[in-house]
Structures are given as C-alpha cells and as structure tokens.
Amino acid sequence: MTGTSQDSVEITVNGEAVVVADTTATLLDVLRGHAGMVSVKDGCSPQGQCGCCTVLVDGQPRVSCVTPIRRVRGREVTTVEGLAPDVRADWGEAFAATGGSQCGFCTPGIVCRFEGLRAKEISHDDRAKAADALLAHMCRCTGWQPVLDAWEVFGTPVTLGDAEAAARRAEIEGGVAQSVGPHVALGEGGFSDDIAPPGALVAVPDGDGWAVAETRAAALATAGKIQGRRTTADYPPPIELPEGDFDAMLRTTWTEPAYLETDASWCEPGGEPASLLGNGGAFGGKLESEIGEVARRLADEHGRPVRVLLAREDVVRNGPKRPPIAGGMNADGTGLLRVARTPGIVVAIARVAPDVTVEEVDVVGPPTSAAIRGAGWLEAAVLLAAARGEVGWITEPTGGEATASVAADGTIRVQVRAGDPLDETTLRSYCTGAAHMGLGLVRSESIAVDPETGEIHDLTIRSFGVVRALDTPTIKIDVLVDERPAVNGSDAVMAAVAAAVWLADGTPTMWPTSP
C-alpha cells in the first residue's frame, strides 16, 4: 500500500511515485535532491519565512522546507513543473508581460500560492486577496506591484516585448547578464545550484572550515547547524553624529541586502567554479564572495564535483552589509559624513557630493562593501535633497536620473530618465523594485548588531524589515524617454524615493524612521 512502510516514505510528485529511505528529510530535500524539481527554491530553510519553496500538497500551498517528509506520506505533491502545460505557459507569460519576475527565484513559489487561490475561485480582479496571500512570501526585486499585475492578467491575452531588448535592459539595471522571459518566472533562470552535476558532494560552513557530505542534510548534520533567531534587542546605530550646525543630519544603522538566492557555487575537479550570479546581481552582495574558490579547492581535494551552499544564517553573519553612516549636509553641498571604513566608499560619495568631507571610522560589526546598491552615494544624495528641502532630480553615477514624491494617500510617484528604455516593462519593473527598496531603507529595514562583539542577532529573513506586499503603497513610474544610450535608471529611483519618503516623514535624524 502506498506510503505504509515505516522504513521509507512514498509520495507522488507530479504524477510519479517517489520513495525516500530517509524519513527525517524535509519535503524540500526530497523535491530538490531526490526528485530533481529545481523550481522549488531554498531561500531561507529551515526558517519557512520566504515562501520560495512553496509547493502544492493535495492542491493546497505548503512551505516545503519546514514540512517533514513523513507528514506527507502517501500524498500528492505538485511543483511548477507538474502544472498543466497551458497553466504553466499562462503563468510564465503573465509574469513576463508585467515584469513580475526579475531573477525568478521567488516566483515559482508565488505561482504555487496563486494556484491555491485559483483553486478557491478567487477573482483575478481581487488584488487585496492576492496581496494577503503574499504575506507568506518575499520578493526583493520587483516591489510586489508587478507580481500582483501578473495575478490580474493571468489567462488573458498578453503581449510580450522583445526578449533581446529586455535582457539588455535587465543587465543594465542588475549589473550582470540575466535571462529574461516566461521561463524565468517558472524557475528556469539557471541559478548555480540548479545546474550542479548529479552526485556532487555538498559542503556547508562548519566553524572555520567546511563540512562535506553526500547530501545537504548530511552536511548540515555534520556541521551541527542550529537555527538562527530574531532578537528583541535594540542596538543604536554604530556611528555618532558629528557636532556642528547642518541643514540636514542623518544616522543609519546596519542593513542586510536580503537577496533571496543564498550564495551557492559548484566545481568539477580541475574545472572553473560556477558563477554565483547565475541570474541576478544580488544587489552587489555577492561580488566579493569567496565560495567559488572554496568549491574549486574542495573539488580538487575530494576528486569529485562539490556544491558549496550557504544557509541564510551564513549569509547574514558573513555577507557584506551596507556601510552605516552618520553626518550632516548643507544646502550648498558642503558637510561632513562619517562612514564605516569600506574600500571605495569615499570615491562613491564623491561622485554625488564632491564638496563633502568624508571621515572613515572603524566600527565593530560585519563586513561592509561599497558594491552594495547605492552604498554611500545614495545617503549623500538624500541628505543633500533634505538639506535643500526638495527631492529635485537625483543623478546616479552612470547618468540615470529620477525624481519622486509621496502623495497624501501614500502613493509614490516617480519620474525616471534612463536613456533609451529598450524595454519599458523591464525598466518599470526594476524601478518599482528600487522604489520599494528606497521605501524600506528609510522606514523599516535594519538588523541588530551587538556594538561590543559585532555579533548579528537578527538571523531570520523576516527580521530584516523588508516591506511586505500588503504594506507597499501604490507606486507609479513615469518613464521619460531621452535621446541618450540606455543607462541605469533604477538606482536613481531608489535614491529619489528614499529622499521623498524621508522628506514626507519630516527628516528624523535616524533610519529606519518607523522600524
């Protein structure tokens, strides 16, 4: 009888029987490791907080990373790969037509969540119900609005833009080459761990070294991994404001880039490690990662392919953060900014505020990076806008320009000039996501770092303060065409929205303004 053995578990995955000997495994482990369903993404396991691993169990959405395989014994599991071909195609086209998928890491889980709504016959005109369902998910790229647009247009005739032009715009906005099209929303963007060779060993951090085993679950057990938590501790920003009379003053704390695909690479013996940037730039957070070289070394050492995987807590503890700042600015562009010592940060600030004095200071805490999206120059540009009492047009270092305002009902209105739009849907999606990031940076995002030890205490993905779908206001993007070649526009949008939100909040001296 199906699923009755006490020594194994049998489930049905997309119509095919799958028998698992390890009854302690999670459904996520089985789907990715045994069944090869790579649409099921691991963004935070075993936290169960990002929704990227959501699948359908007997037709109902379930987060697979916190579901023990024994609890679904004998049941029917459906992943995006197992949806009816016409349904898969309609979802892929809906997300591509609205810009609802950029890197595509979160969207397979969201598609399964939306399928659960369809099973309940929820109207596609009901954005509120869809937004409520997204409380179980995180999307860092799109700012939610294009995702809800995809829910609305599902099953209706849609027009897809030129794929080559869309990919060019995505590369300009994201900083790395990206795949664009309906397949991306279905989980087929080509992330590093999705294309690792079968039978590769798995390595996870183990103190100062690496635990290597046949499976991820075994490697984690060897490393003795303990689930991270969210703290109730409240630590002040790490840098003191300078003395002096300034037109605007700002003090920021630690924030996490919060990209959803955790760092992953793999390598064959004697080969080249797989890029961590399989289909997304991770907002600059992965550019200095060393795990590719770790994969190369371990593959050569073991004589077999090795996958190196970081868990969410590993990324939070060891990944680079946005450099905290504290400073003052005058309307004439002069001022003093103190910033956590970070290679390249002085140059980044000088690009938008050449007359500001920058003091680098040593702070106890995680590593920082000037490669993080807008690091340093965004804060300087926002301070200058506040000092002048208006957003104006903010220009990011490559020439993109944006301005923004916040209406009385909370609606965020943005104008952006980024040269040739190439593909307006893609540009609008990136700009909406950037507006969402600017909003969160000012109002809600932070992580708790002990000022004496530098230890990070907020280790769950929900503790970062990323703005949820239900809490995201309407964002209206007006793309202004100009005759220049295409340049990045979304970074300027992030800065302009941050300035507009801060001004609307009355420019309190500390971010986040309402954690």
Give the per-residue pLDDT at 6. 67
Average pLDDT of the chain, as a whole number: 95
Give the residue-averaged pLDDT of 383-394: 98
CATH number for 83-190 (one of 3.40.640.10, 3.40.718.10, 1.10.150.120, 3.40.50.2300): it is 1.10.150.120
367 DSSP 8-state letter? -
Give the per-residue pLDDT at 4. 47
Q: Alpha-carbon distance 286 to 274, whole Å?
A: 13
Number of H helices, E strands in the chain: 14, 17
Q: What are the respective helix, strand and coil percentages of the chain, to the nearest 5? A: 35, 15, 50
Residue 306 CA to its chain's centroid (Å): 25
pTM: 0.96
Give the residue-averaged pLDDT of 486-499: 98
Q: Alpha-carbon distance 317 to 226, whole Å?
A: 13
Whether residue 208 has pLDDT greater than 90: no
Tell me which of 215-224, 282-291, 460-469 is least confident. 215-224
Strands of 316-390 (E only): list them.
325-329, 335-340, 356-361
Whether residue 499 has pLDDT greater than 80: yes
Domains 9-81 and 325-504 share a fold: no
pLDDT tens-digit series, residues 273-310:
999 998 888 999 999 899 999 999 999 999 999 999 99
Whether residue 515 has pLDDT greater than 80: no
Structurally, at CATH architecture level, domain 9-81 sits in Roll (3.10)
Q: What is the CATH number of domain 325-504?
A: 3.30.365
pLDDT tens-digit series, residues 465-489:
999 999 999 999 999 988 999 999 9
Give the per-residue pLDDT at 498. 98
Domain boundaries, given as residue ranges, for the chain: 9-81, 83-190, 191-226+263-309, 325-504
